[in-house]
Amino acid sequence: MVGVGVEPHFAIGQRALLVRTPAGNILWDCVPLLDPAVIEMVHGLGGISAIAISHPHYYTSMVEWSRAFGDAPVHLHAADRQWVMRPDRSISFWDGETMPLGDGLTLVRCGGHFDGGTVLHWQDGAGGRGALLAGDIIQVVADRRHVSFMYSYPNYVPLSAAAVERIVRAVEPLEYDKVYGAFWDAVIEQDGKAAVARSAQRYLRAINAQPTNKEHS
Protein backbone atom coordinates (compact mmCIF):
# COMPACT_ATOMS: atom_id res chain seq x y z
CA MET A 1 0.00 0.00 0.00
CA VAL A 2 1.27 3.46 -0.97
CA GLY A 3 0.21 6.76 0.57
CA VAL A 4 -0.48 9.78 -1.65
CA GLY A 5 -0.56 13.24 -0.09
CA VAL A 6 0.16 16.92 -0.67
CA GLU A 7 3.15 18.83 0.71
CA PRO A 8 3.13 21.49 2.00
CA HIS A 9 -0.05 20.86 3.97
CA PHE A 10 -3.14 21.76 1.94
CA ALA A 11 -6.72 22.10 3.20
CA ILE A 12 -7.24 19.47 5.94
CA GLY A 13 -4.16 17.51 4.93
CA GLN A 14 -5.66 14.07 4.34
CA ARG A 15 -3.79 11.46 2.34
CA ALA A 16 -5.14 8.86 -0.04
CA LEU A 17 -4.05 5.21 -0.09
CA LEU A 18 -3.23 3.17 -3.17
CA VAL A 19 -4.04 -0.45 -2.38
CA ARG A 20 -2.11 -2.74 -4.73
CA THR A 21 -3.61 -6.11 -5.59
CA PRO A 22 -2.97 -8.73 -8.31
CA ALA A 23 -6.27 -7.80 -9.96
CA GLY A 24 -5.51 -4.06 -10.05
CA ASN A 25 -4.94 -1.10 -7.77
CA ILE A 26 -7.70 0.63 -5.79
CA LEU A 27 -7.34 4.29 -4.81
CA TRP A 28 -8.94 4.77 -1.41
CA ASP A 29 -10.09 8.34 -0.78
CA CYS A 30 -8.74 11.28 -2.74
CA VAL A 31 -6.55 14.38 -2.44
CA PRO A 32 -7.23 17.72 -4.14
CA LEU A 33 -4.04 17.97 -6.21
CA LEU A 34 -3.18 15.82 -9.20
CA ASP A 35 -0.01 16.68 -11.12
CA PRO A 36 2.06 14.98 -13.84
CA ALA A 37 4.63 13.62 -11.37
CA VAL A 38 1.95 11.81 -9.37
CA ILE A 39 0.32 10.45 -12.51
CA GLU A 40 3.68 9.09 -13.69
CA MET A 41 4.44 7.56 -10.29
CA VAL A 42 1.06 5.84 -10.01
CA HIS A 43 1.27 4.53 -13.57
CA GLY A 44 4.65 3.10 -12.63
CA LEU A 45 2.97 1.24 -9.78
CA GLY A 46 0.37 -0.29 -12.08
CA GLY A 47 -2.14 2.53 -12.44
CA ILE A 48 -5.62 2.61 -10.91
CA SER A 49 -8.42 0.17 -11.74
CA ALA A 50 -11.03 1.78 -9.44
CA ILE A 51 -11.48 4.60 -6.95
CA ALA A 52 -13.53 4.35 -3.74
CA ILE A 53 -14.18 7.29 -1.43
CA SER A 54 -15.31 7.26 2.17
CA HIS A 55 -17.48 10.40 2.17
CA PRO A 56 -18.09 13.71 0.37
CA HIS A 57 -15.33 15.69 2.10
CA TYR A 58 -12.87 13.76 -0.07
CA TYR A 59 -14.71 13.93 -3.39
CA THR A 60 -12.49 16.89 -4.43
CA SER A 61 -10.76 16.07 -7.74
CA MET A 62 -12.13 12.53 -8.10
CA VAL A 63 -13.17 13.12 -11.72
CA GLU A 64 -9.67 14.28 -12.66
CA TRP A 65 -8.17 11.22 -11.00
CA SER A 66 -10.56 8.97 -12.88
CA ARG A 67 -9.79 10.51 -16.25
CA ALA A 68 -6.02 10.38 -15.67
CA PHE A 69 -6.32 6.60 -15.27
CA GLY A 70 -8.53 5.55 -18.16
CA ASP A 71 -11.89 6.61 -16.70
CA ALA A 72 -11.47 4.35 -13.68
CA PRO A 73 -14.86 3.90 -12.00
CA VAL A 74 -15.46 5.97 -8.86
CA HIS A 75 -17.52 4.03 -6.30
CA LEU A 76 -19.67 6.23 -4.05
CA HIS A 77 -22.52 5.24 -1.78
CA ALA A 78 -25.90 6.24 -3.19
CA ALA A 79 -26.96 7.78 0.14
CA ASP A 80 -24.51 10.63 -0.58
CA ARG A 81 -25.61 11.22 -4.17
CA GLN A 82 -26.88 14.73 -3.33
CA TRP A 83 -23.34 15.87 -2.46
CA VAL A 84 -21.91 15.18 -5.92
CA MET A 85 -21.55 18.66 -7.37
CA ARG A 86 -20.06 17.51 -10.67
CA PRO A 87 -21.83 14.49 -12.17
CA ASP A 88 -19.66 12.39 -14.46
CA ARG A 89 -19.89 9.12 -16.38
CA SER A 90 -17.14 7.65 -14.21
CA ILE A 91 -19.20 7.86 -11.00
CA SER A 92 -20.87 4.62 -9.98
CA PHE A 93 -23.32 4.66 -7.07
CA TRP A 94 -23.79 1.55 -4.98
CA ASP A 95 -26.61 0.69 -2.57
CA GLY A 96 -26.89 -1.53 0.45
CA GLU A 97 -24.50 -2.20 3.29
CA THR A 98 -21.51 -3.84 1.56
CA MET A 99 -19.96 -3.93 -1.89
CA PRO A 100 -17.18 -6.43 -2.80
CA LEU A 101 -14.41 -5.01 -4.98
CA GLY A 102 -12.58 -8.32 -5.43
CA ASP A 103 -9.26 -9.60 -4.06
CA GLY A 104 -10.55 -9.50 -0.49
CA LEU A 105 -11.52 -5.81 -0.63
CA THR A 106 -15.01 -4.83 0.53
CA LEU A 107 -16.69 -1.46 0.96
CA VAL A 108 -18.78 -1.29 4.13
CA ARG A 109 -21.37 1.39 4.79
CA CYS A 110 -21.14 2.72 8.34
CA GLY A 111 -22.92 6.06 8.20
CA GLY A 112 -21.56 8.57 10.65
CA HIS A 113 -21.13 12.20 9.69
CA PHE A 114 -22.59 11.37 6.27
CA ASP A 115 -25.37 8.89 5.61
CA GLY A 116 -23.25 6.97 3.13
CA GLY A 117 -20.05 7.09 5.18
CA THR A 118 -17.95 4.11 4.10
CA VAL A 119 -14.87 2.19 5.20
CA LEU A 120 -12.79 -0.26 3.17
CA HIS A 121 -11.98 -3.68 4.60
CA TRP A 122 -8.85 -5.33 3.21
CA GLN A 123 -8.91 -8.98 4.17
CA ASP A 124 -5.28 -9.60 3.17
CA GLY A 125 -3.90 -6.36 4.60
CA ALA A 126 -1.43 -6.18 7.49
CA GLY A 127 0.32 -9.35 6.41
CA GLY A 128 -2.91 -11.33 6.24
CA ARG A 129 -4.20 -10.15 9.62
CA GLY A 130 -6.67 -7.78 7.98
CA ALA A 131 -6.79 -3.99 7.74
CA LEU A 132 -9.54 -1.40 7.99
CA LEU A 133 -9.14 1.75 5.91
CA ALA A 134 -11.40 4.06 7.86
CA GLY A 135 -10.93 7.61 6.57
CA ASP A 136 -12.34 9.73 9.36
CA ILE A 137 -15.60 7.80 9.57
CA ILE A 138 -13.71 6.04 12.37
CA GLN A 139 -11.09 8.60 13.39
CA VAL A 140 -7.75 7.35 14.72
CA VAL A 141 -6.83 9.72 17.56
CA ALA A 142 -3.50 11.09 18.72
CA ASP A 143 -2.44 8.22 20.99
CA ARG A 144 -2.91 5.75 18.08
CA ARG A 145 -4.50 3.28 20.48
CA HIS A 146 -8.07 4.58 20.26
CA VAL A 147 -10.55 5.97 17.77
CA SER A 148 -13.37 8.47 17.98
CA PHE A 149 -16.47 9.54 16.09
CA MET A 150 -17.84 12.98 15.23
CA TYR A 151 -20.77 14.50 13.38
CA SER A 152 -18.77 17.67 12.70
CA TYR A 153 -15.02 17.77 13.30
CA PRO A 154 -14.50 21.53 12.78
CA ASN A 155 -17.42 22.36 15.07
CA TYR A 156 -16.73 19.58 17.62
CA VAL A 157 -20.28 18.22 17.37
CA PRO A 158 -20.38 14.57 18.52
CA LEU A 159 -22.31 11.76 16.93
CA SER A 160 -25.34 10.33 18.68
CA ALA A 161 -25.16 7.04 20.55
CA ALA A 162 -27.34 5.42 17.88
CA ALA A 163 -24.99 6.52 15.08
CA VAL A 164 -21.92 5.18 16.91
CA GLU A 165 -23.65 1.91 17.65
CA ARG A 166 -24.48 1.57 13.95
CA ILE A 167 -20.82 2.05 13.00
CA VAL A 168 -19.76 -0.58 15.52
CA ARG A 169 -22.34 -3.06 14.20
CA ALA A 170 -21.18 -2.49 10.63
CA VAL A 171 -17.53 -3.36 11.33
CA GLU A 172 -18.03 -5.97 14.06
CA PRO A 173 -18.19 -8.95 11.63
CA LEU A 174 -14.89 -7.93 10.00
CA GLU A 175 -11.52 -9.34 10.96
CA TYR A 176 -8.74 -6.74 11.06
CA ASP A 177 -5.67 -5.98 13.10
CA LYS A 178 -4.59 -2.63 11.64
CA VAL A 179 -6.60 0.58 11.24
CA TYR A 180 -5.59 3.29 8.77
CA GLY A 181 -7.11 6.70 9.43
CA ALA A 182 -7.23 9.66 7.07
CA PHE A 183 -3.85 11.19 7.91
CA TRP A 184 -0.21 10.15 7.65
CA ASP A 185 0.37 9.35 11.32
CA ALA A 186 -3.17 8.12 12.06
CA VAL A 187 -2.54 4.37 12.11
CA ILE A 188 -3.27 1.77 14.78
CA GLU A 189 -0.57 -0.81 14.15
CA GLN A 190 -2.10 -3.76 15.98
CA ASP A 191 -5.15 -4.92 17.89
CA GLY A 192 -7.26 -2.50 15.87
CA LYS A 193 -10.55 -4.35 16.17
CA ALA A 194 -10.34 -4.38 19.95
CA ALA A 195 -9.34 -0.70 19.90
CA VAL A 196 -12.47 0.23 17.94
CA ALA A 197 -14.74 -1.73 20.29
CA ARG A 198 -13.03 -0.37 23.40
CA SER A 199 -13.14 3.19 22.09
CA ALA A 200 -16.82 2.97 21.20
CA GLN A 201 -17.68 1.85 24.72
CA ARG A 202 -15.63 4.72 26.16
CA TYR A 203 -17.37 7.17 23.84
CA LEU A 204 -20.84 5.91 24.70
CA ARG A 205 -20.12 6.10 28.43
CA ALA A 206 -18.97 9.70 28.05
CA ILE A 207 -21.94 11.00 26.05
CA ASN A 208 -24.44 9.14 28.23
CA ALA A 209 -22.86 10.27 31.53
CA GLN A 210 -24.98 12.33 33.87
CA PRO A 211 -23.56 15.70 35.00
CA THR A 212 -22.06 15.62 38.51
CA ASN A 213 -23.37 19.10 39.32
CA LYS A 214 -26.88 20.14 38.38
CA GLU A 215 -26.22 23.83 38.95
CA HIS A 216 -23.26 26.03 38.17
CA SER A 217 -22.61 29.40 39.70
pLDDT tens digits, 9-42: 888 889 999 999 999 999 999 999 999 999 999 9
- What pLDDT band is residue 75 in, cutting at 50, 70 and 90? very high
pLDDT for 9 equals 83
pLDDT tens digits, 1-10: 999 999 888 8
pLDDT tens digits, 138-148: 999 999 999 99
- What pLDDT band is residue 209 in, cutting at 50, 70 and 90? low
Judge whether 216 and 188 are in contact, CB under 8 Å: no
- Segments making up each domain of the chain, as ranges: 2-208
Is the confidence at residue 134, as pLDDT, over 90?
Answer: yes
pLDDT tens digits, 53-72: 999 999 999 999 999 999 99
SS3 85: coil
CA distance 66 to 113: 25
In 16-125, beta strands by DSSP E: 16-19, 26-28, 50-52, 74-77, 91-94, 98-102, 105-109, 118-122
Task: State which fold the 2-208 domain adopts.
Answer: Metallo-beta-lactamase; Chain A (3.60.15)
Query: Which candidate, 109, 101, 93, 34, places its Cα nearest to that of 64?
Result: 34
